[in-house]
Structure 1
Amino acid sequence: MTEGKWYSRIRRAVLVAAGALTLAAGTTAHASAAPPPSDGGTFSPQVVGGSRAAQGEFPWMVRLSMGCGGAMYTTQLVLTAAHCVNGTGNNSSITATYGVVDLQSSSRITRKSTYVYRNPGYSTSTGGDWALIKLASPITGAATLPLATSTAYDSGTFTVMGWGSATEGGAQQRYLLKANVPFVSDTSCRVAYPSMKTAVEICAGYPQGGVDTCQGDSGGPMVRRDASNNWIQVGIVSYGQGCARPNYPGVYAQVSALSAAIAAKAATL
């Protein structure tokens, strides 16, 4: 896949003003998404065919001011997608919003970023779409989302959530939406995406479409329950052809293949 075709499928949203509420007025279609700007960008997709999440249902969920999602990896680190940020280095331009499903809630907790680490291998044929954002200070008592460390949970039905568009090219959402999507095999997914990186990507969606992540959901987690009925992260929203189109599932960074590298880097931040 050429770089141009890759970026045409990334699920990003439009930029929002620095310091403004992390609710974008609108988004570009996946097909028109541009590479991230130097300040950390704003891109992503939203949940199509979803329903509103309840307060506290996904307590580790984070909205990032460039229009992406993320999940609390530790009380001071947010895991998101590499394509949501421009590069590695000091960065105080990103605002993380935590603790609410309504982005306008007075109960929201916000933190500025201080540093961003973007997986340096992301643009290679084997690179995974992940990045870590360090916050200026920990969020005391924040819920964190464990990562899948084996392929044991890389099948079945997954749950996705985000504040992205509810329709392809539509506006970003004020309230967190959620939806369930089934696993799609690598063989089937490569029919839609011949250049899919099977070593580090996983697909989910319905053959008939209708339910999917979309612009503004990039970087958010795809999760399922583990053997103890706890949420575990199996994917990171990465890209797709449009949103919820028939025969075009969503593509996610495969956390089980990336968790060791994520943990190793997080330990140094």
Structure 2
Amino acid sequence: MKFLTSSATALSVFCMLAQPALAQDSSFSKVAVPAQGTGTSVANYVVKERAKAENLTGETASRIYGGRAAQDGAWPHQVSLHLTERLDGTVEGLYGSQFCGGSIVARQWVLTAAHCIADDEGRAVQPGEVAVKSGAADLGEGDLRAVAQVIVHEDYDPRTGDADIGLIQLAEPISDSSGPVAAIPVQTGSTQLPEGPAVVIGWGMMEEAKFPVDLMETDIDIVSNATCNKGMAEVSQRDLGAFLLAIGTENRIPMTSLEEAYSIILNNWGDALTNNMICAGVPSGKRTSCNGDSGGPLMIKEADGDWLQVGIVSWGRKPLGSNEPCGHENLYSVYTRVSNYFDWIASHVRG
């Protein structure tokens, strides 16, 4: 999952306010942009964090972030994505190379988030950079599968997270496996998404920057997009106000000017979520997805007891200056609404 702060907005305001009046440049031409990394930025971040973290197993891990270790075979559609450059034929290499999740939707196709398989510009990475592991809840077990094609949705916007959906075509259809493997159905565009209980799964980061070896599952609730928008706006506006006051004090900017800038921004504040996104979590934030869970499925149980994928782990937001990437009160996680992309998925899988 990609976690964002309001620092970009604050930096833009700083660049406009902290200069002498005659030297002001109201464009963003002088705003510093992050240097481009190699490969997928999310992949590089997660594997670096994994290299520093303690790997937790079983009962120890089940106490963290309100989740629990999944039973073997409980989620046969779940796969893990691995950076091939980190694979060295050892179990440690499997642990250290995992960076995202995905779900099997057909024998040769895996559904995931676009930001897992795209570079910083939103372009698909090369198939040889990614391997898919299926058939096991333990990262050290299962089957590694080569990738033939990586597809990022043509409307994916890495800045806003809109259309955060992608597909991975395996080099060969799955015909045998060392463990349970199955496909999960995805929600069609003709069905409504009810608010209420859901489950998210993954091998993502937990409290104290630790990672699980076993697949974790967590019970959350799907809520209205307005709930996400409200919580994110409150946190970001509070962060922005604190940033402006600090910069104003340091640079002797009149309080009236700071208040005017703050008022202008608030009057033009837009919603963080689009209709292509789903809001889910719990008010406390203590049960949620996190970095490394990206691309995994958000699921609801249907009346017949079968599971249906309705979302893809996409992004979240954290307060400015927080050392914890996840688990913040009133900051829900955001998921790609797969029903809006059912036809897109089907067009590639059928092809």
| Same-fold call, TM cutoff 0.5 | yes
Q: Is the 8 A contact 2:46 2:291 kept in 1?
A: no
Aligned counterparts of 1:207 and 1:53: Cα–Cα separation in 2: 23
Match of 2:67 in 1: 50
Identity of aligned residues (%): 34
Q: State yes or no: 1:139 paired with 2:179.
A: no
Q: State yes or no: 1:265 paired with 2:348.
A: yes
| Superposition RMSD in Å | 3.0
Between Structure 1 and Structure 2, which shows a larger proportion of helix residues? 2
Superposed, 1:218-233 pairs within 5 Å as: 218-233=294-309
Q: Is the 8 A contact 2:100 2:292 kept in 1?
A: yes
**1:167 partner letter:** E
Dislocated runs of 4+, deviation >6 Å: 1-4
Q: Shift of residue 172 of structure 1?
A: 2.8
Q: Shift of residue 99 of structure 1?
A: 0.8
Q: Shift of residue 136 of structure 1?
A: 1.1
Q: Which runs of 5+ in 1 are unaligned?
A: 18-22, 28-46
Which of 163, 184, 187 is matched with 1:148 structurally?
Answer: 187
Cα deviation, 1:79-128, whole Å, max 9, x if unaligned, reads 000011122375122111111111113xx111011210001101187941
User: Please, which moves more after superposition, 137-146 or 91-100?
Assistant: 137-146
Which of 199, 206, 215 is matched with 1:159 structurally?
Answer: 199
Cα deviation, 1:55-79, whole Å, max 9, x if unaligned, reads 0000100000040000001111110
Aligned counterparts of 2:185 and 2:8: Cα–Cα separation in 1: 32
Give the number of equivalent residue pairs: 239
Q: Shift of residue 129 of structure 1?
A: 0.7
Aligned counterparts of 1:88 and 1:96: Cα–Cα separation in 2: 16
Which of 120, 124, 134 is matched with 2:154 structurally?
Answer: 120
Q: Is the 8 A contact 2:162 2:274 kept in 1?
A: no
**1:228 partner letter:** D
Superposed, 1:234-249 pairs within 5 Å as: 234-241=310-317, 242-249=325-332
Match of 1:62 in 2: 79
- Rate the CA distance shift 1:85–1:3 in 2: closer, same or farther, 3 A: farther
Aligned counterparts of 1:92 and 1:3: Cα–Cα separation in 2: 35
Aligned counterparts of 1:146 and 1:5: Cα–Cα separation in 2: 38
Q: Which runs of 5+ in 2 are unaligned?
A: 10-33, 35-40, 54-63, 84-98, 233-269, 318-324
Q: State yes or no: 1:74 paired with 2:106.
A: yes
Structure showing greater radius of gyration is 2
